[in-house]
Structure 1
Amino acid sequence: MAVLKVTFTKTKRDKLAQALWILNWISVGTGVILFSLGLFLKVELNKRWELMADTDIQYVPNMLISVGLIACAINFLGGKICYDCVDTAKFLRWKLIMLPYIVCTFFFTFCVLVGALMCYTMHWELDESLREGLSKAMKYYKDTDTPGRCFLKRAVDMLQIEFQCCGNKGYKDWFRIQWISNRYLDMSHREVVDRLRSNVEGKYLMDGVPFSCCNVNAPRPCIQHQISNNSAHFNYDHHTEQLNLWPNGCHQVLLDYYCGIVHSIGLTVLITWLFELSVLTGVRYLQTSLENMLRLGDPDCESDGWLLENSFIETARINLNIIKTLSKNNHVDTANNGDPNINVPSTSKARYGPDNVPPQQISAAS
């Protein structure tokens, strides 16, 4: 029994073909949108690549770019096919191509769905990449004279200014690392030497933060050194000075920023998948109704169209039997090592008779 069978008149078939022609051209536009979204996400990730760990998070934009290009090609071909299907004579040229086209389009729409799901699962990769990348960037913040790291100070400062954040999880992260280079420390000063010696790893740690952590909305000049020392500043209590530094950590702020982008892209891709699925459904109805019309032999007659000729269970059983048959044939070929005459002795025995003597030998003996 056919699944979701619909009866089409000639007028309905022509209108369906015309509507699908328009929808396929719209789908070409959605392919361009997917390509643009993937390119946009790739550019956004590359903007701050130095603040991310070396993890493979480019697979999502690469997937979207590939799917967008394939969507343009497939829907352009689909528009041409649907345009020609209005004419029965032209449909005959596409008759053998339509079923492979539908199968390829089905797998393509599945890839679009996978791309949408990947956008929502990218959160975990982004979280880990940003956590490790920001920690590494803050660790090398002071290495402005080291090749390959000299740009990190500027990158971190610009990040904290642009996103109004401080540190990885908060401003106290700067208390646990040395972010001032030794070349800017006065080694003749006793306090500096004592601070270096008091640390097990010989680092110059202090309760201070870079200038980019300062909150521009603070009513007083920014206090970025001796932050936890109330007696070092007049009329100051670091527990109540909420506006002195940016309160949020850059990891969460940047993660929210990227997650907002990828979730919006994921929603767009999901809507695109639903649209592509509806177009594919229409093309399947058009293909089956036109093939049934050709079987009846009358271009003006009514014909049935369906999604599946048999039920889901029957279709799955047929495909499973085909796969089993192919696997058995492949197993036999492998066992015979590709030799088609490996069973010749048994057939020869049946052909020559019970004495197993070839006719040539009998005639020679006589």
Structure 2
Amino acid sequence: MAVLKVTFTKTARGKLAQMLWVLNWISVLTGIILFSLGLFLKVEIRKRKELMFEDVHSVPDMLIATGLVACAINFLGGKICYDCVDTTKFLRWKLLMLPYIVCTFFFTFCILVGALMCYGMRNELEESLFLGLRNAMLHYKDTGTPGRCYLKRTVDLLQIQFQCCGNAGFRDWFHVQWINNRWLDMTDSKVKDRLRSNVEGRYLMDGVPFSCCNTYSPRPCIQTQLTNNSAHYNYDWKTEERNLWMRGCRQVLLDHYTEIMRSIGCTVLVIWLFELWVLTGVRYLQTAMENLLQQGDPDSESDGWLLENSIAETARSNFQIIKNLGKCYQVDDDPNIDVPSTALQEVSSRQVAVAR
């Protein structure tokens, strides 16, 4: 029994073909949107690639590829649906319709995968940002080292633009040496004592770079001796929340990218539903036109459906087809396959007798 069978008149078939022709051209525009969204996300990630441990380009690459394929498939679909208005023109596409629908089905599935990948990218991005920001902070002081001299500017601009400080918070700066040794007075006994007090010989201090300063603070920014209340007038480091940016840059960046990916994922889901609707219409048009050709009357009514049989029967028949294809490629294990037959042996003995 056919699944979701619908009867189409000649007028209904023509209107369906015309509507699908318009929808396929709209789908070309949705393919351009997919491509643009993937390109936008790729550019946003590349802007801060120095702050990421590894490239996270699987989602934007997926969207870019899907967008390009969408433009090609829907352009072809528009041409097919336009020709389906005329029964004679449909004959040139008859053999191509089913492979086209199968390819479009898998392509539509790829759009759904792309949307789900947008929502599942957060964990991968969080780990990459954690390791990338940690490395950037470790090399913040290397302003004279080739290949790392840009990191100080990158981190400072990040903390100013996103109003954040450190990886998880401003205390992260207490555990890294962010001041280069050439700016330290090595003759000062306090500097020597601080270097000796650390096992790794690093100059650690309870201070942060200037870019961590909160621009909305009513008092001048306190960057050094943050945990020493007696070093500053009318100061309590546990309650001075407006002196520095409190949020860590990893969480701020993660929220920034999550908001972008949530918007992109929602848009891609809408496009997936639209493509699924178009695919359903093309399937009805294909089955209706094929049934019309079998009837032989171009003006008669014809039935269209999503599946010719029930879902269970369709799955069973497809499994049987795959099973038969597997049998075609099996190697014959007959042990006597190389042994000549009796008839051949008799022919050979007669030929020998004649020769004698």
For the aligned pair, the TM-score class normalised by the smaller chain equals: over 0.9
Does residue 239 in structure 1 map to residue 222 in structure 2?
no
Quote how far apart the aligned CAs of 1:156 are.
0.4
The runs of 5 or more residues in structure 2 that have no matched partner are: none
Q: Percent identity?
A: 69
Quote how far apart the aligned CAs of 1:237 are.
1.0
Helix, strand or coil: the match of 2:4? coil
Helix, strand or coil: the match of 2:303? strand
Quote how far apart the aligned CAs of 1:345 are.
4.7
2:43 counterpart letter in structure 1 = V
Question: Which residue in 1 is equivalent to 2:229?
Answer: 230
Does residue 103 in structure 1 map to residue 93 in structure 2?
no
Give 4+ residue runs of structure 1 displaced > 3 Å after superposition.
Answer: 342-346
Q: 2:354 aligns with which of 357, 361, 364?
A: 364
What are the residue-to-residue correspondences of 1:126-165 with 2, within 5 Å?
Answer: 126-165=125-164
Distance between the aligned counterparts of 2:79 and 2:235, measured in 1? 74
Distance between the aligned counterparts of 1:330 and 1:38, measured in 2? 42
What are the residue-to-residue correspondences of 1:61-210 with 2, within 5 Å?
Answer: 61-210=60-209
Helix, strand or coil: the match of 1:93? coil
Helix, strand or coil: the match of 1:19? helix
Helix, strand or coil: the match of 1:114? helix
Distance between the aligned counterparts of 1:100 and 1:82, measured in 2? 15
Does residue 21 in structure 1 map to residue 21 in structure 2?
yes
Distance between the aligned counterparts of 1:189 and 1:297, measured in 2? 101
1:238 counterpart letter in structure 2 = W
Question: Which residue in 1 is equivalent to 2:289?
Answer: 290
2:12 counterpart letter in structure 1 = K
Distance between the aligned counterparts of 2:66 and 2:257, measured in 1? 21
RMSD, matched Cα? 1.7
Distance between the aligned counterparts of 2:82 and 2:324, measured in 1? 38
Helix, strand or coil: the match of 2:121? helix
Residues 189-212 of structure 1 show CA distances to partners (whole Å, capped at 9, x for unaligned) of: 111111101111101000000000
1:361 counterpart letter in structure 2 = R
Distance between the aligned counterparts of 2:296 and 2:337, measured in 1? 47
Q: How many residues align?
A: 354
Helix, strand or coil: the match of 2:281? helix
Helix, strand or coil: the match of 2:276? helix
Distance between the aligned counterparts of 2:178 and 2:283, measured in 1? 64
After TM superposition, the score normalised by the length of structure 1 is: 0.93
Quote how far apart the aligned CAs of 1:343 are.
3.8
Distance between the aligned counterparts of 1:198 and 1:291, measured in 2? 85
1:36 counterpart letter in structure 2 = S
Quote how far apart the aligned CAs of 1:359 are.
8.0
Distance between the aligned counterparts of 2:318 and 2:216, measured in 1? 68
What are the residue-to-residue correspondences of 1:199-278 with 2, within 5 Å?
Answer: 199-278=198-277
1:285 counterpart letter in structure 2 = Y
